[in-house]
Chain A
Amino acid sequence: MNRIKIFSKLLVVSMIFSFMIHMKPISANAHVDVPSYNYSFWGDSIAAPDAFKAATLIQGDDLKFGAFKEPNDLFVTEDKTIYVMDSGNNRVVIMDKEFKALDAIDSFENENKTETFSNPQGIYVTEDKHIFIADTGNNRVVHLDQHYHLVGIIEKPESELLKEDYVFQPIRVVVDNADRVYVMAAGVFDGFMEFNVNGEFNTFIGANRVQIDPIELLWKRLSTQAQRSQMMMFIPTEFTNLDINSEGFIYATNGDDSSDKIKKLNARGTDILRREGYYSPIGDIRYPHDVGPSRLIDIDVTDSEVYSVLDSKQGRIFTYNGDGHLMYVFGGLGNQIGLFHTPVAIERVDDSFLVLDKTVGEITVFRETDYGHTINEANRSYYQGDEEKAFQLYKKAIELNANLEFAYTGIGKALLRQGDYKGAMENFKQSLDQKNYSKAFLLYRKELLRDYFPALMTIILVSAIGMIGFRTYRKMRKRKKGIAIE
């Protein structure tokens, strides 16, 4: 009996397999549904709708300048001109917003000599289209104007803070509104290098804290001087990338395994990132043991203090709002469209994302879905103070994804502003936001008391007077009786 069962099972399985073999191989362009998710208050990953979906793939071959070779960085200006740092070919490829190649820069004139780049890693373009290139192999940062003419070169800074044998290897570069240049260089543990307009070294800003492992420290205490000199030094971790927003705040990622993997640095180099979300913005909270925590290698800031980070370990892109709430996650590692091989850079252009893949030399373009659009717009309207619109949009977002906990806070805040304290309390309870709940509750209690205070007080007073009256009456009766008996 059992044999027959097993045999029939085998038959079914083999039939399914043969059917699959006869099917056409799945085409590379087939859409993949990597389930998106978000983290709940309790730290569980809960399925969420896709906020962004892969739309197109840009390969270097399609452009007139030929394929990219190990590209490392991407930059998109205000008018959506795209700059790709094509490191392997030692050039910069410029595309317009339709992804048509406009130009390629592979050399510039320096004192009537033509100079080229050597393994350049980073690029930044200012508002007036001045280009800054971190020319890593030549140990310099090259500053070109909009017509690709040389303006200046930043070379190894002269400073007492640097060792004699220090080799200046700039990797990433950003420029603020006052034309100060911030350089992230390899082998520098003191933070970013800040250069003034003339390319002179100012200072280091925003050094990471030293991370000390207690067990390591104990070993170090127990070992001798000679052993100690052989051991690893406690040094702060390097930054992995940086970006600057329109207000001049630097957003930086580092390789630390702590709660401040992402930093927002002000002009003094202090970290002022808001971490009001359920968890600190650190990428994945839950991860397979063998993979380990996210390693963030690129960051991109857009309007309304929204920023996205790229995790190189699992190829995911995490987007957080200004408060530090995780808005959505997309991407992953794989071979289909929408997944990457070795993602290195992300850039947000309005409502689409560009993700640059280093080994494959491709750019994946993601477009926002209706769900993503709703969250983005809701966040934007709230940031701009348009509470009514934010309220409507957050409501819509919750209809699309009832598990989006921070959206309830958004609704609650709008209701609080409108004076619906009870509704606000309910929504804050949904998002498990005690601080705001308490605010709404205090107002609600005050309102209730104001309504019922006169009635309540009258009842208390009347009953108190009544009690006293009754007692004195009884006492008087007793006294009378007592007298009567005696």
Chain B
Amino acid sequence: MNREMIKYPFYLIVHPFNGFWDLKYEMNKRMNLIISFVILFSMVVTNILSTQYSGFLVNIYNPNNMNSLLEILYVLVPLLFWCVANWSLTTLMDGEGKFIEIFTSTCFSLTPLIIINFPWIWLSNFVSMQETTFYYFSSTFALLWFLYLLFIGNMTVHQFAPMKSVGTILLTILAMGFMAFLCLLFFSLIQQIVAFFHVIYQEIVIRY
């Protein structure tokens, strides 16, 4: 069973149609969720390690601006935004997917980003300027692969036709932007309220 668990994501990324179908209808939901979290965790680790340890020629980072906790957010926040936005839209658009299914399929799609980018963290330390082309090529390739899987996954989970799937994905991106805007608005309002009470407090303290 454990062997199966490790093998499954690798099977899925090369056979996306069958893979996502089995993910939705055949596999154990609990198992899926565990694998998803493992993938998500390794994605976060890959991201942190690559900002810190990638070769000097492909990665100049300002140590003052590097923050591992923020790196975690850079992965988690877009992913959750995507899932929430996608779920909210597809419930209205007759999609068959549940939230958990959307989440697991998205996490499974991240696999190529990990298996290609992770070795490159070390490899990029052994390349010259001319050879960095390979680095950029493979990371672009990983990204395209990820997008392809995301598309297939979404289509399978909701049982959509391809064109409708493209439409929902575009709408999802729009919804993500909207959510980001609402979040910013919310936080800035909270901030102002806090500042307001703080000023009142200060005034009282200074006066008496």
Residues of A within 8 A of B (CB): 42, 429, 432, 434-435, 437-438, 441-442, 445
Task: Enumerate 7 A-B pairs (CB-CB under 8 Å) in ascending A order.
Answer: A432-B60, A437-B57, A438-B128, A438-B130, A441-B57, A441-B128, A445-B126
In the complex, besides A432-B60, A438-B130, A442-B128, 17 extra interface pairs with C-beta distance below 8 angstroms are: A42-B62, A42-B64, A429-B56, A434-B56, A434-B57, A434-B60, A434-B129, A435-B129, A437-B56, A437-B57, A438-B57, A438-B128, A438-B129, A441-B57, A441-B128, A445-B126, A445-B128
A22 to B62, CA, bound (A): 49
Contacts of B60 in A (CB 8 A): 432, 434
In the complex, per-residue mask of B20-57: 1 if CB is within 8 Å of any chain A CB, else 0: 00000000000000000000000000000000000011
Q: Number of B interface residues, CB 8 Å?
A: 9
Question: Which of B56, B62, B126 has the most CB atoms of chain A within a 10 A radius of its CB?
Answer: B56
* Interface positions of B (Cβ within 8 A of A): 56-57, 60, 62, 64, 126, 128-130
A367 to chain B, nearest CB (A): 36
Contacts of A445 in B (CB 8 A): 126, 128
Chain B residue numbers with a CB within 8 Å of A429 are 56
- Residues of chain A with a CB closer than 8 A to B62's CB: 42
Q: Closest approach, in angstroms, between the C-beta of B58 and any C-beta of chain A?
A: 9
Q: In the complex the two chains form, what is the Cα distance from A185 to B113 in whole Å? A: 61
Q: A435: which B residues are within 8 A, CB to CB?
A: 129
| Max chain B C-beta neighbours (<10 A), residue from A429, A432, A438 | A438
Which 6 residue pairs are nearest across A and B when measured between Cβ atoms?
Answer: A438-B129, A442-B128, A438-B128, A42-B62, A434-B57, A429-B56
Q: In the bound complex, how far is the Cα of B128 from the Cα of A434, in angstroms?
A: 9
B130 partner residues in chain A, CB cutoff 8 A: 438
Nearest residue (CB) in B for A2 is B208
CB distance from B56 to the nearest CB of A (A): 6
In angstroms, Cα B63 to Cα A42, docked, is 11
Q: A404–B76 Cα gap in the complex (Å)?
A: 39
Residue numbers in B under 8 Å from A438 (CB-CB): 57, 128-130
In angstroms, Cα B64 to Cα A429, docked, is 16
Specify which chain B residues have a CB less than 8 angstroms from the CB of A432 in the assembled complex. Answer: 60
Distance between Cα atoms of A438 and B60 in the complex (Å): 13
CA distance A434 to B60 in the complex (A): 9
Tell me which residues across on chain A come within 8 A of B128, comparing CB atoms: 438, 441-442, 445
Q: Which residue of B60, B126, B129 has the most chain A CB atoms within 10 A of its CB atom? A: B129
Nearest residue, chain B, Cβ from A438: B129
Closest-CB distance, B34 to chain A (whole angstroms): 37
How far in angstroms is the closest Cβ of chain B from A396?
26
With a cutoff of 8 Å between Cβ atoms, the chain B residues found around residue A42 in the complex are 62, 64
Query: How many Å from the CB of B71 to the closest CB on chain A?
Result: 19
